[in-house]
Amino acid sequence: MQRSGHTAKRSVLIAMSGGVDSTAAALKLLESGYTIIGCTFVTRYTSPASIKAAQALAAQLGIVHHVVDYSDTFESTIVDYFINEYKAGRTPNPCVLCNRLIKFGALVKEADRLGCDFIATGHYARLSNSSFIRVAADATKDQSYFLWQVEPAVLERVLFPLGDMTKTEVREYLAQKGFETLSKQGESQDICFIPNDYRTFLRERLRDKYKEYMSFTIGQRKGLGVALGYPAFVTYIQGSDGVFPSNGVGVPHPLVPGVYLGHHDDLYATEIQLRNVIFRGDPNQPIMAKIRYRSSATEATLDYSPQGATTLNSKLYTLHFAAPVWAATPGQSCVFYQSDLVVGGGIICL
């Protein structure tokens, strides 16, 4: 975690929610001799209780705390993206975009405004000396998958105080520091602006523009509302663009326009296309690719052009897998690893 330099003279702006991980991260930084300032980003979905919890924690630790309203920016970037992806028949990954634009991008801008040297979060991830994201020590909590879009210039100023700890160790650490009640607090929800079911959220936001195909995702088996005489899975979703690919597999859902159903094995693929590709690794070495957060990594090779391959762009690349992968889902992130380093990724498309 520690960067070079005398920590007592190094200041850190830490994202604080008042929860388990950000509290433990703040305590670890103070123990390491850093001067820290707390920051809580507020959106329309932030509960007053969580703001008060962060403020109370900052007061208890004796540190300055800032509340920054990012409601409009969050709505116009993260929430609009989330809705538009479902309208297009894709399954979005809002946490990836939010990490790049808000949790790290906006945080480092706030750090600049306040004159802080570093930023810190309670993410379970680590950094290499060359500012590559490394997987966390706790494989069950590792969040490196969600950080592949964070820019290298930002990573150079990031601290991950919890990267070498397991979740169990974090809870034990909090209890030892006198935060026993907090140490037993449950996990936060996966998507901060979705309190329950994303389908309910979409229906409420889109109203008469909501279409039933938005309630489905690739690989879905349950809740199809139809029996075809065999175990059926969603194999394709035709969104607002109305395009069905020439290599598309499946039969139309008899009740839901835009949804196509097929067999389990129809969803296997040995290659996929990616857009918005970033690649910072060794082009002469294979990569291990994860097509979703909870999937296993599969060896793969990437066809790309060196020009533009290290910045966000819309050029398409093809990823070839050494073994078939199942249910690659348009809109989701495919993240590249070499050894335990995140070396890039891309957005899965047709």
Strand pairing of 317-326 and 298-303? antiparallel
Catalytic residue numbers read 98, 192
Torsion of CA 146, 202, 101, 168, to 10 degrees: -40
Contacts of 47 (CB under 8 A, 6+ apart): none
Any idea what the Cα angle at residue 270 is, between residues 248 and 267, rounded to 5°? 45
CB atoms within 10 A of CB 17: 21
Strand pairing of 259-262 and 268-279? unpaired
**Nearest-angstrom CA–CA distance, 274 and 271:** 10
**Nearest-angstrom CA–CA distance, 348 and 350:** 7
CA 291 to chain centre: 13
CA 195 to chain centre: 17
- Alpha helices of the chain — where are they, by DSSP H? 20-31, 48-61, 71-74, 80-87, 94-98, 107-114, 152-155, 167-176, 180-183, 198-206
What tokens were used for 180?
């026993």
Report the sign of the C-alpha dihedral through residues 251, 255, 258, 263, in that order.
Answer: negative
Closest CA to 12 of 21, 33, 165, 146: 33
